[in-house]
Structure 1
Amino acid sequence: MNHSELQTPYFMIDEEKLIRNLETAQKLKELSGVKLVLALKCFSTWGVFDIIKPYLDGTTSSGPYEVKLGYETFGGETHAYSVGYTEQDVLEVADIADKLIFNSQSQLAHYRHLVEGKASLGLRLNPGVSVAGQDLANPARKYSRLGVQASKIDPQVFDALEGVMFHMNCENKSADSFIKLLDSISAQFGQYLDKMQWVSLGGGVFFTWPGYELEKLAEALKAFSDKHGVQLYLEPGEAIITKTTDLVVTVVDIVENEKKTAIVDSATEAHRLDTLIYDEPASILEATEGAKHHYVIGSCSCLAGDQFCETQFDNPLEIGQRLHIMDSAGYTMVKLNWFNGIKMPSIYCQRASGEVVKLNEFDYSDFKRSLSQWSV
């Protein structure tokens, strides 16, 4: 199947690029002894899990449906976490989760009896320190509801636990800054960690970023594990799928109002939501920074500020031309929605052999069914 034959918009996952990230992950595991579980909140496209499974140890989840998906399609260890469980949630996941992590001491007290003898019990702790580029994504932000602060801990709660989880990073590209967080955790929580069997240090550690000091990270993780006598886990999401996937779109119109806008058959609000939420411009493969022809890459939604980026091209854009919006795997396919009734992107994977495999496609019936299935 030739790329030019595919109807836009679509996601194209590149197996070779994915494997390069996974080989880095494998090296980190070998050097440090850490186990890695894929964060499904970032990437849940289970059609490529067969590529990922040989390298990672399982999955971690932020809601009950993700727990079920990880258990059914990935295997290995299944970690279950939620900011707020209902009793029904706990009943649904306790029998399939290897580790079930509560966000608060009150939820632990309410539901531990439903988990004991089934999954390993864990509790999320909030270290009050973090590395996050934006406050919206900062787990240690003021008034954070995420995890238990050191000053609020009831020491007796650890008698019922086998592990704890921290999550305090978002796209942290520095081994040194992560090591500082480890030192802070040891200082604040060391007396409790020494009683645990396992500790998850969450996700957001960008160890596949070019130039990342992987050996330094591995050494620090091994030292932390040895110091407290625990099995360490990381929960990578973006680190596994970064730079593996393009969102391919077509220019459908070009309009001008002081600036030229190329309107494409996609929308950030529907297909690449984090571009809009975090105001982080996308990158276009065909663009050349500083080139002569300047365009806003605008979406086809009705939201006035919905645009992918402003960038430059060597030559004028033309209606019908295709553009590749790069690095479009993380927090995209898991957030797709039907705003404006815009066509949902298909999902493909280009295998290392060159073969293009269709993983999913959507049509009007999917849109209609998502809104109602029965009439009154």
Structure 2
Amino acid sequence: MQQESQLATPYFMIDESKLIDNLKKCQQLKQLSGAKLVLALKCFSTWGVFDTIAPYLDGTTSSGPYEVMLGHETFGKETHAYSVGYSEQDVKDVADKSDKIIFNSQSQWQRYRHLVPEHCQVGLRLNPERSAAGQDLADPARAFCRLGVTESALDKTLALGLDGVMFHMNCENKSVSSFAALLDHISAQFSDVLSQVSWVSLGGGVFFTWPGYPIEELAEVLKQFSLAHQVQVYLEPGEAVITQTTDLVVTVVDIVDNGKKTAIVDSATEAHRLDTLIYNEPASIAEASQDGPFPYVIGSCSCLAGDQFCETQFDQPLQVGQRLTVQDSGGYTMVKLNWFNGLKMPSIYCRRVNGSIECLNSFEYQDFKHTLSRKSISSI
């Protein structure tokens, strides 16, 4: 059996046992609430573990055409399609592969609904202009937001033709009371529409797999909302499904001291863990010690000056060749991998329940070379 210490860094390691722990919480929520759960592929599209995820969830939801195709081909069950802006060709490409297609605006719905086949239900994203999100960049109800139709702009006569509606108004929301207040708000604001549709997607961003989260309370809130409006409720978990399941393992390749000791590792947030930079949220290192006497910047090997994972402390000085584990690196990482600086792309592994390590993907120079051009050098 292959040992993890033999694997070349950098690499992602998905722990199937931890993934199943989260999925059991998903199953519990479904059973108690009657809600259906569809995996948000914008967060996690590593289809090599869909065999583990699919038995617990009801399908996938997408934010772009290729995600629709991936969910349809590799996950099975329900395939939900959504896009902030479809082209005509996008709708043609995904409509026959989708069980539900959700439009972001009334104009898109009017322009393309004739392309939607009879088997596919039609939904519209609504913007409640209220949300629970800690980052303005990710706030789906921020000022002047283009995401969804506001109540004041909604043509109620057009809404008569809808099968369902979608709201997305949370980002890592760990509070049941906060979520319940949002449901009360949309119940009052969109009561006419909710009485006409058969299903409502409440989006993602509800962090119900967080340790200590009261799943029973959330289930009751969802159940009461469903009963009040006589609708099938959907949630679109992404981070909630894969939180704390995946690590990024890196190696210290150099240590420099330009006023602070910096351990340079064979990875980069810009290329491999982009949200660390985008949201300015420092990573956590498993080997670090909160009160350790040896402070280090964990810096990337990219040329971007501010590209670093975090600043933290250790009980012992770090050494070149030492491995470090960047914890909780599953969500919005592998879907955002890029070839910045021509850095080596992390391999993706899964540690299965039986202890075996399965390689889901690995990358070579030819993958980098062919990303932007396929023309042979001899023809130039």
TM range (shorter): over 0.9
Match of 1:310 in 2: 311
What is the distance in 2 between the residues matched to 1:158 and 1:222?
A: 24
What is the distance in 2 between the residues matched to 1:355 and 1:184?
A: 48
Match of 1:211 in 2: 212
The 5 A counterparts of 1:244-283 are: 244-283=245-284
Query: Post-superposition shift, 1:371?
Result: 1.7
Match of 2:63 in 1: 62
What is the distance in 2 between the residues matched to 1:12 and 1:364?
A: 21
What is the distance in 2 between the residues matched to 1:172 and 1:279?
A: 18
Query: Post-superposition shift, 1:116?
Result: 4.5
Match of 1:11 in 2: 12
- Which amino acid is the alignment partner of residue 257 of structure 2? E
User: Residue 124 of structure 1 contacts residue 147 of structure 1 at CA under 8 Å; is this kept in 2?
Assistant: yes
User: Residue 288 of structure 1 contacts residue 313 of structure 1 at CA under 8 Å; is this kept in 2?
Assistant: yes
Query: Post-superposition shift, 1:117?
Result: 1.1
Q: How high is the TM-score relative to the length of structure 1?
A: 0.99
- Which amino acid is the alignment partner of residue 327 of structure 1? D
User: Residue 287 of structure 1 contacts residue 312 of structure 1 at CA under 8 Å; is this kept in 2?
Assistant: yes
The 5 A counterparts of 1:294-373 are: 294-373=295-374
Match of 1:26 in 2: 27
Match of 1:94 in 2: 95
What is the distance in 2 between the residues matched to 1:132 and 1:91?
A: 34
Match of 1:160 in 2: 161
Q: How high is the TM-score relative to the length of structure 2?
A: 0.98
Secondary structure in 2 matching 1:155:
coil
Match of 1:184 in 2: 185
What is the distance in 1 between the residues matched to 2:134 and 2:304?
A: 26
Secondary structure in 2 matching 1:182:
helix
User: Residue 94 of structure 1 contacts residue 118 of structure 1 at CA under 8 Å; is this kept in 2?
Assistant: no
Query: Post-superposition shift, 1:315?
Result: 0.4
- Which amino acid is the alignment partner of residue 285 of structure 1? A
User: Residue 121 of structure 1 contacts residue 163 of structure 1 at CA under 8 Å; is this kept in 2?
Assistant: yes
Structure 1 segments, 4+ long, off by >4 Å, are: none
What is the distance in 2 between the residues matched to 1:140 and 1:79?
A: 22
The 5 A counterparts of 1:234-245 are: 234-245=235-246
Match of 2:227 in 1: 226
**CA deviation string 1:297-340 (max 9, x = no partner):** 00000000000000000000000000000000000000000000
Structure 2 residue runs without a partner (length 5+): none
Match of 2:135 in 1: 134
| Matched length | 376
Query: Post-superposition shift, 1:32?
Result: 0.1
Secondary structure in 1 matching 2:157:
helix
Query: Post-superposition shift, 1:158?
Result: 1.4
The 5 A counterparts of 1:73-92 are: 73-92=74-93
- Which amino acid is the alignment partner of residue 86 of structure 1? S
Match of 2:39 in 1: 38
Query: Post-superposition shift, 1:291?
Result: 1.1
Secondary structure in 2 matching 1:94:
helix
Structure 1 residue runs without a partner (length 5+): none
Report the identity percentage: 71
User: Residue 96 of structure 2 contacts residue 117 of structure 2 at CA under 8 Å; is this kept in 1?
Assistant: no
Cα RMSD of the aligned pairs, angstroms, is 0.6
- Which amino acid is the alignment partner of residue 122 of structure 2? L
User: Residue 171 of structure 2 contacts residue 206 of structure 2 at CA under 8 Å; is this kept in 1?
Assistant: yes
Query: Post-superposition shift, 1:290?
Result: 2.0
- Which amino acid is the alignment partner of residue 315 of structure 1? Q
What is the distance in 2 between the residues matched to 1:268 and 1:350?
A: 23
User: Residue 295 of structure 2 contacts residue 314 of structure 2 at CA under 8 Å; is this kept in 1?
Assistant: yes
Task: Say which is worse superposed, 116-125 or 13-22, in terms of deviation.
Answer: 116-125
Query: Post-superposition shift, 1:118?
Result: 3.3
**CA deviation string 1:251-277 (max 9, x = no partner):** 000000111000000000000000000
What is the distance in 1 between the residues matched to 2:70 and 2:132?
A: 29
